[in-house]
A and B are shown apart, each in its own frame.
Chain A
Amino acid sequence: MIKFEEPIDIWGQISPEHGYTVHGAAGALPFKPLNRQALAMRIFLLVISLLTIYALLTIDYRSVDVAKAAADTLNNLKIIFLQPDTHRLSLRDAFYEVVITMGLAFLTTLFGGVIAFFLGLLGARNLAPKQVTNIVKGFVAFIRAVPTILWVLIFAVAAGLGSAAAVIGMTFHSVSYLTKAYAESFEELDRSVIEALSASGANWWQIVFQAVIPSAATSILSWTFLRYEINFANAVAMGAAAGAAGIGFDLFMAGGYYFDLREVGLITYIILAFAMALEAVATGLKGRIRQNPR
C-alpha cells in the first residue's frame, strides 16, 4: 500500500514562524525585479521625454500665429463636418464612385482569398511539411512587412499608375495577410484528428475538405470580411494616391485640387456610411454563423 515517508505535519513548517524570511531591506520590497529589460525600458522612456522637451523648446514657429492657426483649423473642421455640400459631384455620381471603390475592394479580396486559400494550406503546420510551411510563412511575412501603397507603386512601374496597379498591389498584400490568417485557422484543427482520418484511409484532399475546412469555416469567413473592410479603406486611399478610380479620387480632387471643403465633408460622410453598413453586415453574418454552424 502507499506509504508516506515523511509525516504530513512537517508541511506546516513552511510558514513565517519557521525561518521563512523575506530577504532584502526592510520597507522597500520591490515586487518587480530590476532586470536588464526593465532598465532598458526606463532609459528609453527617459531619453524620449528629454527629446520631446528639447524639441518643444527649440521649435521654430516662424510667423505662424499658433492661436490663429488653431482657430482656422477648427473653422475648417466645422465647414467639413457641419456644412457638407456638393458642387461638382452629384449624389448619384458619388454613390456610383463608392460602388467602384467597393468593387475594387471586392475584387482584391476575392483574388487574395483564392490564392491565400491554397497558400494557407501549404502554410498550416498540421497539413504541410515543416520546411514548406517555413518557406510560405517567411515569404508572406516579407510581403506583409511592406505597406500596401508601396506594392501598388512597385507594380505601377509595370502596369502604369491606375486601377491595374492598384488591383495587383492590393491583391498582393491581401494574399500575404489572408495566408497567415487562413493558415492559423487551419491549424486550429488538432493534428490528432487528421491522424485519425488518415488512419482510416482518407487522403489529404479529403481530409482538407471534410475536416479542416468545416472546422475553420467561421474564422476564415471573419478573416476574409475583416480584410474586405481593410481593402475598402485601402481602395479609398489608392483612388487618391495611385489614381485608381473611385470615391478616393474624388476626395483627392475635392481636397487637394479644388480645395472644396464642403465636398470633402460630404464624401467623408458617404464613406463613413458605407463603412458602417459593411461593419453591420459583417457583424450580422458572424453572429448567424456562430448560432447556426455551417
Chain B
Amino acid sequence: MALLELKNVTKYYAGPTPALAGVSFTVKEGEFVSVIGPSGAGKSTLLRCINRMIEVTGGEILFGDLAVSKLKRRDLRKLRTGIGMIFQHYNLVDRLTVIENVLHGRLGYKSTLAGVLGLYSREEKMQAFNIIKILGLGEQVYQRCDQLSGGQKQRVGIARALVQNPKMILCDEPIASLDPNASKIIMDYLKKIANGMGITLICNLHQVNVALAYSDRIIGINKGKVVYDGPPGKLTADLTSEIYGTESGELIVDWGERYAS
C-alpha cells in the first residue's frame, strides 16, 4: 500500500533553475528508501517538501489520503505529528536533558497551553522512557544533551522522532557528522525501525555504500531530477557515476562492501 506519493513535484527558489524538477515516486509502508545525489541536488529540499517545511511550487504530494499542499494550519500540524524528522546536526535543545528533548516530540499532540506548561501525561513519559531505554540511553536520561557524544545525540534525535508515533521518519543526512562506528549504530537502529516497527524511512545519504547496505530502495537525484529509482542490487558503478555526474570510476565507493554485508 502506498503511504506517500509524489506527483510531478517542482520547487523553484529565487532564480530560474529549479531545485526540484518534476519529481515523482511512491513509497510503500515500512519501506527504507535512501535518497542519494551530489550536494545541492535537491535532497534536503525534497525531504522538507514532504512535511511542508518548504512550500512546493508545483505538483502534488499525497500522504495517506491527505493532499499535503492543501492542508490548513491545524491539519498541517496533525500531518507533521505523524512524520518524524532527524537531522545531521541533531537539532536538540542542548541545555535540556535527554528526557525533556525526547518529550518535545509529543508537543504536536498537545493543546498550546499544555505544551507551554510542559504537562505530559504519565503514559507519554512511560513511552519516552521506554524508547530511550530501547535506544541504549537508559543511563543518560537525566543528562544534559550538551554532555553527550554525537552518536548519543543522534539517538536522542531518533527517540524524539519515535515518541511521535510516526508513520514515517524523514532523515536528513543522519550520519554525516558521525564517525564510522557511531554511523553503524545509528544505521542499524534505523534499519530496525523500518523493518521491525513498520515505519517508513526516507533517508538522505552521502555515503553510497551505506545506502547500498541498508536500504530497500534507492532514489538517485541530480539537479532536481530523479535519475535512478530502484533496488540497491541494480545500482551499478556506471549508474552511480551518472547520479553524481562524474566520470566512471572516479568515485570513492567501496563496491566490495555490498557483497560483504
Q: Real complex partners, A and B? A: yes
Q: 1/0 per position for B75-100, CB-CB distance to A under 8 A?
A: 00111110111010101111110001
Which residues does chain B contribute within 8 Å of A205, judged by CB atoms? Answer: 112, 115-116
Closest to B51 in A: A199
If A193-B91, A205-B116, A293-B144 touch, whether A200 touches B96 (CB-CB below 8 Å) is no
A201 to B84: give the CA distance in the assembly, Å. 9
Whether B115 contacts A192 by the Cβ 8 Å rule is no
If A196-B87, A196-B91 touch, whether A211 touches B104 (CB-CB below 8 Å) is yes
Q: Does B258 contact A (CB under 8 A)?
A: no
Q: Does A257 contact B (CB under 8 A)?
A: no
Whether A209 contacts B93 by the Cβ 8 Å rule is no
Q: Which of A193, A197, A210 contacts B116 (CB 8 A)?
A: A210
Interface residue tally of chain A, by bracket?
Answer: 20 to 34
A214 to B108: give the CA distance in the assembly, Å. 19
Whether A203 contacts B112 by the Cβ 8 Å rule is yes
Whether A200 contacts B108 by the Cβ 8 Å rule is yes
Which residues does chain B contribute within 8 Å of A206, judged by CB atoms? Answer: 107, 110, 112, 115-116
A50 to B98: give the CA distance in the assembly, Å. 65
A190 to B91: give the CA distance in the assembly, Å. 8
A196 to B91: give the CA distance in the assembly, Å. 6
Interface class of chain A by DSSP: helix
A192 to B105: give the CA distance in the assembly, Å. 15
If A200-B85, A203-B77, A293-B144 touch, whether A195 touches B91 (CB-CB below 8 Å) is yes
Q: 1/0 per position for B146-168, CB-CB distance to A under 8 A?
A: 00000000000100110010000
Whether A192 contacts B87 by the Cβ 8 Å rule is yes
Which residues does chain B contribute within 8 Å of A197, judged by CB atoms? Answer: 104, 107
Which residues does chain B contribute within 8 Å of A192, judged by CB atoms? Answer: 87, 89, 91
Whether A215 contacts B116 by the Cβ 8 Å rule is no
Within 8 A of B (CB), among A118-172: none
The minimal Cβ–Cβ distance linking B125 to chain A, given in whole angstroms, is 15
Which residues does chain B contribute within 8 Å of A208, judged by CB atoms? Answer: 116
Q: Which of B79, B85, B104, B161 contacts A210 (CB 8 A)?
A: B104
Q: Does B136 contact A (CB under 8 A)?
A: no
Whether B109 contacts A201 by the Cβ 8 Å rule is yes
Q: Does A82 contact B (CB under 8 A)?
A: no
Whether B81 contacts A201 by the Cβ 8 Å rule is yes
Q: Does B230 contact A (CB under 8 A)?
A: no
Q: Does A198 contact B (CB under 8 A)?
A: yes
If A193-B91, A193-B92 touch, whether A200 touches B116 (CB-CB below 8 Å) is no
A192 to B90: give the CA distance in the assembly, Å. 9
Number of interface residues of B (CB under 8 A): 36
Whether B77 contacts A210 by the Cβ 8 Å rule is no
The minimal Cβ–Cβ distance linking B140 to chain A, given in whole angstroms, is 15
Whether A214 contacts B95 by the Cβ 8 Å rule is yes
A64 to B108: give the CA distance in the assembly, Å. 77
Q: Does A270 contact B (CB under 8 A)?
A: no
Give the most central of B53, B89, B116: most A CB within 10 Å: B116
A209 to B83: give the CA distance in the assembly, Å. 22
A189 to B108: give the CA distance in the assembly, Å. 20
Which residues does chain B contribute within 8 Å of A196, judged by CB atoms? Answer: 85, 87, 91-92, 157, 160
Whether A200 contacts B115 by the Cβ 8 Å rule is no
Whether A209 contacts B115 by the Cβ 8 Å rule is yes
Which residues does chain A contribute within 8 Å of B112, judged by CB atoms? Answer: 203, 205-206
A233 to B79: give the CA distance in the assembly, Å. 54
Q: Which of B93, B117, B164 contacts A200 (CB 8 A)?
A: B164
The minimal Cβ–Cβ distance linking B58 to chain A, given in whole angstroms, is 22
Q: 1/0 per position for B29-57, CB-CB distance to A under 8 A?
A: 00000000000000000000001010000
The minimal Cβ–Cβ distance linking B35 to chain A, given in whole angstroms, is 17
The minimal Cβ–Cβ distance linking A226 to chain B, given in whole angstroms, is 20
The minimal Cβ–Cβ distance linking B107 to chain A, given in whole angstroms, is 4
Which residues does chain B contribute within 8 Å of A272, judged by CB atoms? Answer: none
Q: 1/0 per position for B221-256, CB-CB distance to A under 8 A?
A: 000000000000000000000000000000000000
Whether B87 contacts A200 by the Cβ 8 Å rule is no
Whether A214 contacts B96 by the Cβ 8 Å rule is yes
A239 to B95: give the CA distance in the assembly, Å. 42
Q: Does B118 contact A (CB under 8 A)?
A: yes
The minimal Cβ–Cβ distance linking A155 to chain B, given in whole angstroms, is 34
Whether A189 contacts B93 by the Cβ 8 Å rule is yes
A-B contact pairs, 28 of them (CB 8 A): A190-B91, A193-B93, A195-B91, A196-B85, A196-B91, A196-B157, A198-B80, A199-B83, A199-B170, A200-B81, A200-B161, A201-B77, A201-B78, A201-B79, A201-B80, A203-B112, A205-B112, A206-B112, A207-B107, A209-B115, A209-B118, A210-B93, A210-B115, A211-B93, A214-B93, A215-B93, A217-B95, A294-B95
Q: A192-B89, A217-B95, A293-B144 are in contact. List 13 more A-B contacts (CB 8 A).
A: A193-B93, A196-B85, A199-B53, A200-B84, A200-B104, A201-B109, A203-B77, A205-B116, A206-B107, A206-B116, A210-B93, A214-B96, A294-B95
Closest 4 CB pairs of A and B: A201-B108, A206-B115, A202-B107, A196-B91
